[in-house]
Amino acid sequence: MDMRRKMNDEGPQPASARSQKWPVAGEGALAAALAAAPTEGTADSSRERRPDTERIGFFLVPNFSMMALSSASEPLRAANRVSGKPLYSWHLISADGEPVSSSSGFSLQPESAMTSSIAVDQLFVVASIGVENYRNERVFDFLRRYAATGKPLGGVSLGTMILARAGLLDKRRCTIHWEALKALADEFPSLAVTRDLYCIDGDRLTCGGGTAAIDLMLDVIARAHNHRLAADVADQFLHTRIRASQESQKMAIQWRYGIEDRRIVNAITLMEQNIERPVPVQTLASLVGISPRQFERMWLKHFDMGPSQFYLGVRLKAAQKLLHESTASIFDIAMQCGFASASHLGRCYRKVFDVTPGQERNVKGK
């Protein structure tokens, strides 16, 4: 399928276009939008770039997230549609101009390769799982040259990791998908890494990916135009609330586990905050204001397991994320997740997941 399409939706649409049902953000929506858009050379003069149209570039790293790309690009398309003006155009870029495969298997054809003549007003690097070994110096040099222009430069999902490796986040607040927070902080301990939904620090914009890219772009639209337009765009995606940048990326514990008891919520929060040095169960019980025996009974009632077993599961899930998202040794991961040794982690890991940490990492890499 020829995917060389212009991803533009500029200006008032003719009646035939108004009757068209445009897809909303989500897996596959961007590919469908590309297929529906006019091909290069067939667009009429009304679709040519106007002086007040802001050009947004998306640099695609292999295995990028379609969800993140759609969430970042669809608000621009909706801003054009809602305003009736060609406020934005958007353009795909890759390292070599060749098609780039997403994590979900879709392959997109970019408009161009990275060159010093790329004429975009803002550039976002879109990446996802699998960037732990990404060390493309040509890409890093390209991003440094772009950053030197002073134009806004952003990272979507694990695109933040690419910017950090290019040395473009020094002295800037930034964020990344919650699964990669620790890996980013460990690789770049001097970075001001936050757990925020998204961060805008001067001309650097980063977000956790997924639907957080919608909120980031709504903020971009509000700053460039007005909040009313951003709200109207949000309504197009049934996005009932424009989330503030500092909001949490993860679902609140009470919703994640279906728990209303504040004591359990507080205990789980303490567990998740103390992975490397586990807090004794008796201390957890004391911190939430109940006896160890009550604490044990409460856990059995809600989770059909004791608090120690639950805490072990929290630490093992943290180890699993590090196996997927970092290049740290299994010994280092064991230490970071509160295990006495690599063999201790291995025994516990195999008992729960039925594979060893080494097998987990090998399977993930295939």
For 51-75, write each residue's pLDDT tens digit: 589 999 999 999 999 999 999 999 9
Q: Quickly count: other Cβ atoms within 10 Å of residue 179's Cβ.
A: 20
Same domain, 288 and 178: no
Residues 198 and 296 in one domain: no
Return the exposure string of 38-47: e unless at least 16 CB atoms fall within 10 Å of the residue's CB, then b: eeeeeeeeeb
Q: What pLDDT tens digit does each residue of the chain (366 aa) get?
A: 443 333 444 333 333 333 333 333 333 443 444 333 433 332 333 334 455 899 999 999 999 999 999 999 999 999 999 999 999 999 999 999 999 999 999 999 999 998 867 789 999 999 998 888 899 999 999 999 999 999 999 999 999 999 999 999 998 999 999 888 888 988 999 999 998 999 999 999 999 999 999 999 999 999 999 999 999 999 999 888 888 777 767 767 777 788 888 899 899 989 998 999 999 999 999 999 999 999 999 999 999 999 999 999 999 999 998 888 788 899 999 999 999 999 999 999 999 999 999 998 876 544
Position 246 in a domain: no
Q: How many domains does the structure of the chain reveal? A: 2
Return the H-helix or E-strand segment holding 107. strand 107-108
| Of the residues 208, 236, 264, the one at which a domain ends | 236
Q: Is residue 54 part of a domain?
A: yes
- The predicted pLDDT at position 364 comes to 56
- Please give the pLDDT value at position 332: 93
CATH classification at residue 112: 3.40.50.880
Q: Give a yes or no: residue 262 inside a domain.
A: yes
153 and 40, same domain (yes or no): yes
Does any domain span residue 164? yes
Residues 305 and 260 in one domain: yes
pLDDT for position 260: 83
Asked whether residue 333 is assigned to any structural domain, the reply reads yes
CATH of the domain at 267: 1.10.10.60
Question: Do the beta carbons of residue 109 and residue 4 sit within 8 Å?
Answer: yes
Residues 122, 23 share a domain: yes
Tens of pLDDT, residues 156-200: 999 999 999 999 999 899 999 988 888 898 899 999 999 899 999
Q: What is the DSSP string of 182-242?
A: HHHHHH-TTSEE--BSEEEETTEEEE-STTHHHHHHHHHHHHHS-HHHHHHHHHHTT--S-
Q: Would 92 be classed as within a structural domain?
A: yes
| Domain around 104 | 15-236
pLDDT of residue 28: 42
Give how far the C-alpha of residue 231 lies from the chain's centroid of Cα atoms, to the nearest Å.
Answer: 22
Q: Tell whether 3 is covered by a domain.
A: no
Q: Are residues 346 and 218 in the same domain?
A: no
Query: Rounded to an integer, what distance in angstroms lies between the CA atom of residue 5 and that of residue 179?
Result: 33
Which pLDDT score, from 0 to 100, does residue 251 have? 66
Same domain? 204 vs 70: yes
* 265 within domain boundaries: yes
Contact 39, 106 (CB under 8 A): no
pTM: 0.66
Residue at a domain's end among 236, 264, 296: 236
